């Protein structure tokens, strides 16, 4: 009877130690877990590919230096961050970031080097801020930039000059821009879509498009304050003829509070070109080849609507994929928890098995010795 109880007692003792060990181990792991999670700034949410600090009323860019996720997207929109200086967005994982949202966040100023460390940046959203200018070279060295949204700012005057060899989509809706200059298009050699709806453009200088280096470009210019005169007609027909604009968009000018559809009103064309040229210069203004929509063999080999649709689709798909990807992935903290819990589980089980085996072997060995000695004694 005594011999029977000893090993089980010993195993119990062993389990006691094991329990203590297990508690210590869990404390250690809890500390590790806490450390692992602390990478995400307090007021932000981190997943394995995104950091969101949207609508958190923060007034400066948080410190992302200790994040341990690989952020593809950073959303800082809906805050009140006035300035982005040189180092605000320089952190160890800056190079991973492809999309930055800084819209609706009271931005007044951006330093020209603000985004330099984000060498893989593709999309930058700076809409609905208080910007009156942007440094012309602030995305110049970002060779993957595809989309820049500056809509809803206060540029008031010439379209800002932006330099980028890769940028494909530039949107500046509702920015109080009054003109497009040669300079504003000169440094955007890969631009495919320029959206300038709802600005204060009264007329356009077609010279800006004569020196353009981009292969094909689509301009969105409806809902501007076009002046009803022959110069406007000439310029818009030139743009339509070169397929820079889509004449089925709403191009109107206002005269005596009446909106006139520029591409749908022959009377208007005749009337206003006659008025402009009534002081005996050139009555036959529309006889000029530049003015008329080109026939198909002169037209550039692309379809405006198709480009727009494709771009739209691409962005929608990208967003959808991003969203799905986001949904399917566990959040980083969940991710970490899963990892640490499974590791801790295996460690505990391993130690437990090793411990029990050792005890059992020891006990068995002792038993054998004892029974041996008993037999010998007998």
Q: Which residues bind ligand NAG (CB under 6 A)?
A: 54-55, 77-78, 101, 103-104, 125, 255-256
Residue with tokens 């080109």: 294
Nearer to ligand NAG, 124 or 212 (CB): 124
Q: How far is the CB of 317 from ligand NAG (least distance, A)?
A: 15
Closest by Cα among 71, 112, 111 to 91: 71
Strand 109-110, strand 83-84: pairing: parallel
Nearer to ligand NAG, 74 or 196 (CB): 74
What does the block give as tokens for 4? Answer: 């029977």
Give the Cα separation of 86 and 63 in Å (integer).
14
Nearer to ligand NAG, 69 or 102 (CB): 102
Nearer to ligand NAG, 28 or 130 (CB): 130
Give the Cα separation of 127 and 287 in Å (integer).
42
Give the Cα separation of 243 and 214 in Å (integer).
13
Give the Cα separation of 258 and 260 in Å (integer).
6
Q: Answer whether 194's CB lies under 8 Å from 220's CB.
A: yes
What does the block give as tokens for 22? Answer: 């297990």
Nearer to ligand NAG, 125 or 237 (CB): 125
Nearer to ligand NAG, 94 or 151 (CB): 151
Nearer to ligand NAG, 258 or 376 (CB): 258
Position with the least CB separation from ligand NAG: 78
Counting beta carbons within 10 angstroms of the beta carbon of residue 266, is it exposed (0 to 12), middle (13 to 18) or buried (19 or more)?
exposed
* End-to-end CA, the chain: 18
Nearer to ligand NAG, 158 or 274 (CB): 274
252 membership: H or E segment, kind and range = strand 252-255
Nearer to ligand NAG, 104 or 252 (CB): 104
- Radius of gyration of the chain, Cα coordinates, nearest whole angstrom: 34
- Other CB atoms within 10 A of residue 222 CB: 18
Q: At what angle do helices 230-241 and 266-276 cross, to 10 degrees?
A: 130
Counting beta carbons within 10 angstroms of the beta carbon of residue 194, is it exposed (0 to 12), middle (13 to 18) or buried (19 or more)?
buried
List, in sequence order, the alpha helices (H) in the chain: 2-37, 182-186, 207-210, 230-241, 266-276, 304-328, 332-377
């Amino acid at each position: 009877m005594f011999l029977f109880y000893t090993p089980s007692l010993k195993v119990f003792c062993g389990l006691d130690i094991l329990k203590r060990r297990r508690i210590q181990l869990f404390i250690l792991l809890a500390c590790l877990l806490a450390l692992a999670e602390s990478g995400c700034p307090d007021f932000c949410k981190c997943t394995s590919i995104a950091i969101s600090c949207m609508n958190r009323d923060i007034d400066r860019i948080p410190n992302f230096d200790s994040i341990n996720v690989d952020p593809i997207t950073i959303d800082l929109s809906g805050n009140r961050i006035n300035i982005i200086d040189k180092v605000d967005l320089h952190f160890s994982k800056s190079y991973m970031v492809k999309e930055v949202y800084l819209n609706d966040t009271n931005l007044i100023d951006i330093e020209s080097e603000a985004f330099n460390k984000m060498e893989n940046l593709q999309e930058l959203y700076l809409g609905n801020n208080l910007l009156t200018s942007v440094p012309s070279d602030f995305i110049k060295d970002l060779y993957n930039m595809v989309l820049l949204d500056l809509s809803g700012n206060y540029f008031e005057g010439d379209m800002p000059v932006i330099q980028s060899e890769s940028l494909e989509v530039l949107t500046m809706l509702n920015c109080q821009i009054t003109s497009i200059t040669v300079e504003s298009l000169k440094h955007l050699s890969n631009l495919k879509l320029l959206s300038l709806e709802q600005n204060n453009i009264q007329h356009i200088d077609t010279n800006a498009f004569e020196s353009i280096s981009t292969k094909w470009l689509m301009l969105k210019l409806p809902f501007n304050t076009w002046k009803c005169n022959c110069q406007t007609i000439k310029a818009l027909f030139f743009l339509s003829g070169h397929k820079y604009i889509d004449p089925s968009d709403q191009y109107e000018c206002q005269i005596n509070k009446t909106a006139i559809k520029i591409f749908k009103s022959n009377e208007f064309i005749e009337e206003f070109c006659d008025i402009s040229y009534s002081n005996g210069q050139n009555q036959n203004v529309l006889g000029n080849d530049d003015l008329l929509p080109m026939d198909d063999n002169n037209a550039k080999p692309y379809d405006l609507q198709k480009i727009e649709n494709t771009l739209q689709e691409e962005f929608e798909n990208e967003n959808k994929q991003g969203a799905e990807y986001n949904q399917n992935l566990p959040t980083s903290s969940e991710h970490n928890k899963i990892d640490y819990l499974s590791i801790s589980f295996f460690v505990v089980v391993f130690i437990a098995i090793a411990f029990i085996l050792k005890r059992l072997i020891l006990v068995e060995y002792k038993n054998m010795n004892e029974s041996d000695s008993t037999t010998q004694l007998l």
